[in-house]
Amino acid sequence: MNRRRVVITGYGAVSCVGNNVNTMWDSVVNGRCGIGRVTLFDPADFKTQVGGEVKNLEWQGIVSEKDYRRVDSFVTFALVAFDEARRDAGLPADFRDEGSGIDPTRVGVVVGSGIGGLRTIESQCAMLLSKGPRSISPFMIPSIITNMASGMISIRCGAGGPNFSVVSACATATHAIGASFDAIADGRADMMITGGAESSITRLGYAGFCSMKAMSTHFNDRPELASRPFDRDRDGFVMSEGAGVLILEEYEHAVKRGARIHSEVVGYGATGDAFHMTAPIEGGVGGMRAFRMALDNAGLNPEDVDYINAHGTSTHLNDLCETQAIKSLFGDHARKIAISSTKGAMGHGLGAAGGFETIIASKTIETGIIPPTINYTTPDPECDLDYTPNTARERKVDVAMNTNLGFGGHNGVIALRRV
């Protein structure tokens, strides 16, 4: 069976650099950093004291007061980002309404979260220990489970097609987008709402990652310098939060309803390192195979690629192995590809990262602007590709790729093309 074409018709974002896509894009292009000292709890006792918090989110009018009290903040982030994506795609608020022109049974939702309702887990555990089991909210379980972002979006708009959640740590949103791409391409849906959401800036989350020695500790007094992908002096990632949500649509379906098309999703690659719980496999072999799979899926050659939004977490092993993966697959062309990690400005959104970064990769196709990797001041001789240091540049982009990887050895790559 011939696979159907899939396009992106809507974007939505809630992030530490802006609570809509235009503000997020303007921030990353101009190198404005959203990382600061943590305010959601007192970080004084923690080795890492900085993070990328969502600020001044206007959820009223999008999420009801009742739902806001019942769900974890990662679900609220997802609902607000979905509302923007829906409006960007020119879609009605409820697909069940007569005259909507949308068959709700052909619309699915796959919005993942790497950790789920950690903030609620922490607060409810404290309640249990201080006041006993009868103090626990009856909404605790539905609030914390990672599929609830998909579930609440579906309930909100009436999407009755494929509905589930993907969980693969920091590759979550990329795999959610890939699964949604496959659902449309294979004819199981005409439209998919997809991406990722995360809200893990909590005492428990920071305690765990600090114990792993995974996060930056050297720049607590200069938060804006803490995330420095591919730089020689990088010392760990910086956690951030939010949601990145996209509307994927079958090409003819989008054309028929006169939708604006941002870009076309043409390939998806997913592989496993089968190596280590937290470290990427040496040489980035797993990531390289995911790139290869996405290109093969898209019918593209390595030399067709103009831009890669790298995972680029600002950890020593990730940035090294990712560089090795790109060099291994792309060969001499690797030095001609514009690469950047927007985590220098945004920090690491964990399960939301692939949502943010697929939107950003698509925006490079639309705008012809490559966002920079900020805080790149001291080159690492082992990371020697073009990471678009510190300043955006203009370049025509016909093919862009986004790549993310997660603990457990999960690799995901999305390939996009100009329509």
The partner residues of 37 in beta bridges, in order of sequence, read 50
Mean pLDDT of the 241-246 span: 98
Please give the positions annotated as active site: 170, 311, 348
- Closest of 383, 417, 415, 418 to residue 402, by C-alpha: 415
Block residue for tokens 């069976």: 1
Band the pLDDT of 1: cuts 50, 70, 90: low
Say what the pTM is: 0.98
Cα distances from 259 to residues 252, 256, 334, in angstroms, run 10, 8, 35
* Among the four given CATH numbers 2.140.10.10, 3.40.47.10, 3.40.50.970, 3.40.50.1980, the one describing domain 267-417: 3.40.47.10
Angle at 389 between CA 56 and CA 413, to 5 degrees: 75
Q: How far apart are CA 314 and CA 238, in angstroms?
A: 8
| CB of 239 closer than 8 Å to CB of 209 | yes
| CB of 164 closer than 8 Å to CB of 404 | no
pLDDT attached to residue 314: 98
| CB of 24 closer than 8 Å to CB of 17 | yes
Please name the amino acid found at residue 364. Answer: T
Tens-digit pLDDT profile for residues 338-355: 999 999 999 999 999 999
Is 80 exceeded by the pLDDT of residue 38?
Answer: yes
**Phi/psi at 350 (nearest 5 deg)?**
50, -120
pLDDT attached to residue 328: 96
**Phi/psi at 329 (nearest 5 deg)?**
-80, -45
- Closest of 358, 368, 244 to residue 311, by C-alpha: 358
CATH architecture of 6-263: 3-Layer(aba) Sandwich (3.40)
Residue 259 DSSP class? P
Cα distances from 149 to residues 72, 127, 246, 330, 407, in angstroms, run 9, 24, 13, 36, 21
Mean pLDDT of the 69-80 span: 97
Percent of the chain with pLDDT over 70: 100
Q: How far apart are CA 419 and CA 177, in angstroms?
A: 18
**6-263 matches 267-417 in fold:** yes
Domains of the chain, by residue range, sit at 6-263, 267-417
| Mean pLDDT over each residue of the chain, to the nearest integer | 97
Block residue for tokens 């080159």: 379
pLDDT attached to residue 327: 97
Strands in 17-121 per DSSP E: 36-37, 50-51, 107-112
Cα distances from 38 to residues 24, 41, 43, 246, in angstroms, run 20, 7, 6, 28
Q: How far apart are CA 416 and CA 267, in angstroms?
A: 7
Is 70 exceeded by the pLDDT of residue 387?
Answer: yes
| CB of 62 closer than 8 Å to CB of 402 | no
Please name the amino acid found at residue 27. Answer: S
pLDDT attached to residue 155: 97
The partner residues of 294 in beta bridges, in order of sequence, read none
What's the sign of the alpha-carbon dihedral 358, 362, 363, 365? positive
Band the pLDDT of 98: cuts 50, 70, 90: confident
- Closest of 224, 189, 220 to residue 103, by C-alpha: 189
